[in-house]
Chain A
Amino acid sequence: MIKEQRYVRELDKPRQRTIPLAVVATVLFFLLLLRLWYLQIIKTDEYRAMSENNRLRFLPVAASRGALMDCNGEVLVNNRPSFSLAIIPQEVGDVAATLDRLAALLKLDRDELLERWEKSKGRARYYPVVIAANISREQVEMIEENRLRFPGVEVTMKPVREYLYKNSAAHLLGYIGEISDKELDDPGYGEYNPGDYIGKNGIERAWEAELHGNDGGRQLEVDSRGRVLRVLSEKSPTVGNSLVLTIDGRLQRIAEAAFGAQAGAAVVMNVTNGEVLSFVSSPTFDPSLFAGRIPPEIWKQYLEDKRHPLENKALSGQYPPGSTFKMITALAGLEAGVIDENTTIVDPGYYEMGNHKFRDWKPGGHGIVNLRKSLKESCDTYYYKLGEKLGVDRIAAMAERFHLGQPLGIGLAHEKKGNVPTTAWKLKRFGKKWLPGETLPVAIGQGYLLTTPIQLASMVATVANEGTIYRPHLVKRVVDPDGKTIKEYGSEILGTTGVSAASFRKVKQGLYAVVNDPGGTGANARLWDVKVAGKTGTSQVVKLGEDRKRAVAYQYKDHGLFVAFAPFDKPEIAVAVVVEHGGGGGAVAAPIAGKILRGYFDLKKPQQPPKQKNAAEQDETPQGAEDDAALPPRDAAPLRRDEE
């Protein structure tokens, strides 16, 4: 056995050291006993009195949440005081009888009171349980008058969230709600107590730490009748910080109104810094309902609405970008040298690859098509051919340079990343090789491509500013309760595309034509005083076979898309509009974008119509295009044809 071979060391000095250790241990235990003697024998009467007659009560004082303001300082979300009815478990005695009397006196639903009371089982007995929130002043008075009949019942005042514009920007602002047991266990919510209200969605959730403030409270020693004997400790609440958002409340409401009853999303972004000016997901909901019990009929209505009001479509909705993606395919072609602005094709209305015919949306075809016309009329055949030459990986590489297929990090929960397919992606996802025929739908923004509206806005903003990708952001400043700015958020550049300015200009000319040239698909977004450039898109929800029969149910109808930026010469804002199941983008999405752009420029104080100077500043020359010949009269032509 091992132990026989082992050299065992003699125990030497340490052996005696067990004695001092024993002495130390005995002395320390003796100290514990001494302390117990002091507590249990000398001071026992005092402590016994405290444990028998007196109770410690804790009265929380909720902090006011910080306000949310739009970029002009207009308050969007605020608080108003509200009263709630609470029971302190250790003092109430007969709960059932108390609930009976309360329900009778205040004309409240007893079952509801009971339900909330039951939920509190297992919590500390000194902590008040809210059994009815938001009670009226009359009810408060009735309780106060009958105080003596209701031992252990307290009226507490706390601030309630008020959304001043009701449903406006609900998905962005989010809502608050009572903290759940799961969240209470989450260390991120360490400082909270049961019954606290915290941000559950949107900005309210993402910025909870700034907005919440610090709750205060008082530790009271009360007698058996609930009378305060002394205040053991007190802490006053601190109001949360307020946020100044990048959103313009007025523009937001204009954009929401433009949707009417249609479902969809719109994002308006400043192209020079990534500030989000509007963030629409339609239809919307009433965030104030989430702070309490949502009336079941409204809840049912939200859930059953096939337009999904609770879904944040601007951030979590993933749509094939449709023809709006053609600007990416075009840039990929230009940068790769596969096409230039003069490359033309003849479009018979379809593109043949192998023995398969890929159809253009226009049955007869577009005739002779160059780059400008391909964008203006959204010619599919042009991009089928370009896509085949480029291959999917070169298209995907360009899309990724625009941060498509990756979350932009706007800072709200549930941001989706979309999808940009590559050969490697397909191999990994499906274990199959990419087929050449699958590239063609991708080239026109269909197939496995998915984008969110916020990505589309960022994409067109990047085209507008010719290559800089800004992180879209929603908060301009954090302001403390005294109105002092604590933090300021400027623009953050996520990257640059590395695409040459020349290529951008060529594509932008095409986008200009989409809105302003006769036969352009985006004419519905045209403004009389500001030059708009954009691109329509229609993304198929389901493949409907060759002759797409249009008599289909709502959920199978196409999504209409439109992306735009303006003014053309010196871009300020980018807009992306998606109308779910609305049909063609030019018909449904472009008018909404037009209204939003109209709203933006109207709000911006009516400015002088573009002067001659604008035209002179322009350093690019239009590239030959046969359909330019029939330009309609305009206030100021962006293309100086006469000087050519």
Chain B
Amino acid sequence: MIDRRLVTNFDWTLIGIVCSICLVGVLNIYSASAAYKLVGAPYYVKQLNWMIFGLFISLMVASLDYHILEDFSYWFYGLLILLLLAVLLVGKRSLGATRWLNLGFFTLQPSELMKIGIIITFARYFNNYHAADGLTVKDMYFPLAILAVPALLIMKQPDLGTAMLVVLVALSMAFYVGFRWSTIMTFALVTVPMGWFAWAVYMKPYQKNRVLDFLNPERSRLGSGYHIIQSKIAVGSGGVFGKGFVKGTQAQLRFLPEQHTDFAFSVFAEEWGFVGALLLIVLYLCLVLWGLNIARRCNDRLGGLLAVGVTAMLFWHISINIGMVIGLFPVVGVPLPFFSYGGTSMITSMVGVGILQSISMRRFMF
């Protein structure tokens, strides 16, 4: 049943890079949560389980021909929109936002699935849409509409980080298809006033606060800017070689917020220094470049679009998360793929890797 060519063409480079990052991540979570008093399995064990489960899922996805994604893409999209609506109506509230659907046996976060959903939907759309001389503004009407619906629904939860990611991934794919210059200019002229509108009317005070905190961490709001200051102290105090494994004072004294999830990179940079951070970033760069390579050498349009979409998703996660913990971007609560603790992020990223693998394995088939 399984084509032999699939086995011979299995992309070991891809799996190799992903596993390396995951394992470094598990070690780092071990250190980050060493100061926690816990009941139940420690976080690093759980993360290891998620990693293995994620790899399994990624193999399952890889074994499918990615062309079937095209067939059910709009159904999947429709279903996700319904789920997002359901979240707003009957979702589970936690930490100030409604993001989860309680399905009894587990909780589902449809906005996370939407990241994959938008990749598949855009891939299908652009696969069947020819724009020989680049996309015009008119060509973008439909894609922007199918992007705006989920983005606004996610923003409403409110989950600014995920909404931003969905938009960035979709736009990256459109960029890959190619814009005309006039299109880019028009968008610039439209988005600036819209950005102003979002700021003035739409954004929640805490979201504005985060942006303002980012621009000026010493702002006077109670406790705000604290995360950034502590994270910068952690990273900066790491120096060239770091303080050593489980020796980061910032992390071990628990100065860092969410240090095993969103701020995992700070812990790593504190304990392994610039050298460690450099190696990790190079690993991530390899992953991104390899993803783009898969897109490049793939011979059909759909595969190229999917590969670029998945790579863009990973890329934006990585740069926003790291940028956030070192004070380049606002704190938006975006996890670092394969590195931050958390099952949801792991599964989403691994599904993406599965799609990449599926494309990579079949590169000689079309």
Contact = CB atoms under 8 A, between A and B. Distances in A.
B220 A18 contact: no
A40 B239 contact: yes
Interface in A1-54: 2-3, 6, 8-15, 17-18, 21-22, 25-26, 28-29, 31-33, 35-37, 39-41, 43-44, 46-48, 50-52
A44 B238 contact: yes
Nearest to A21: B292
B223 A185 contact: no
A512 interface: no
Contact of B240 (A21, A40, A122): A40
B37 A25 contact: no
A134 to B, nearest CB: 24
Interface string B246-286: 00011001110000000000000100011001100100110
Interface in A607-624: none
Contact of B326 (A32, A44, A58, A124): A32
A217 interface: yes
Interface in B274-330: 274, 277-278, 281, 284-285, 288-289, 292-293, 295-296, 298-305, 308, 311-312, 315, 318-319, 322-323, 326-328
Contacts of A235: 220-222
Contacts of B139: none
B328 A29 contact: no
Contacts of B365: 3
A41 B274 contact: yes
Interface in B227-249: 229-230, 232-240, 249
Given A11-B300, A35-B328, A187 B96 contact: yes
B226 interface: yes
A25 B328 contact: no
B78 interface: no
Contacts of A558: none
Contacts of B185: none
B160 to A, nearest CB: 15
Contact of B285 (A26, A37, A51): A26
B218 A233 contact: yes
A9 B302 contact: yes
A139 interface: no
A442 B163 CA distance: 58
A602 interface: no
B142 interface: no
Interface stretch (B43-51, B55-63, B173-181): B173-181
B97 interface: yes
A21 B278 contact: no
Contact of B175 (A10, A17, A22, A214): A17
A2 B67 contact: yes
A47 B295 contact: no
Given A9-B127, A235-B222, A37 B302 contact: no
A42 to B, nearest CB: 9
A483 interface: no
A546 B121 CA distance: 77
B301 A12 contact: yes
Contacts of B277: 33, 36, 40
B149 to A, nearest CB: 25
B236 A43 contact: yes
A25 B286 CA distance: 10
A44 B256 CA distance: 18
B296 A52 contact: no
A33 B301 contact: no
A9 B223 contact: no
A232 B295 CA distance: 49
B94 interface: yes
Interface string B173-204: 00111100000000000000000000000000
B220 A233 contact: yes
Nearest to A217: B222
A29 B232 CA distance: 18
Given A14-B176, A122-B37, A2 B65 contact: yes
Contacts of B254: 124-125
Contacts of A217: 222-223
A633 interface: no
Contact of A29 (B221, B225, B319): B319
A10 B236 contact: no
B285 A18 contact: no
Nearest to A54: B233
B172 interface: yes
29 contacts: A2-B65, A8-B300, A8-B301, A9-B302, A10-B301, A11-B299, A14-B301, A14-B305, A17-B175, A21-B176, A25-B285, A29-B281, A32-B319, A32-B322, A33-B281, A39-B232, A40-B236, A40-B269, A40-B274, A50-B233, A50-B237, A122-B36, A122-B37, A125-B254, A125-B255, A190-B96, A216-B222, A217-B223, A232-B229
Interface of A: 2-3, 6, 8-15, 17-18, 21-22, 25-26, 28-29, 31-33, 35-37, 39-41, 43-44, 46-48, 50-52, 56, 58, 90, 121-122, 124-126, 185, 187, 190, 193, 214-217, 219, 232-235
Interface of B: 36-37, 65, 67-68, 93-97, 127, 172, 175-178, 206, 218-223, 225-226, 229-230, 232-240, 249-250, 253-255, 269, 273-274, 277-278, 281, 284-285, 288-289, 292-293, 295-296, 298-305, 308, 311-312, 315, 318-319, 322-323, 326-328, 365-366
Given A2-B65, A11-B298, 6 more contacts: A3-B366, A32-B281, A39-B236, A40-B273, A41-B240, A47-B232
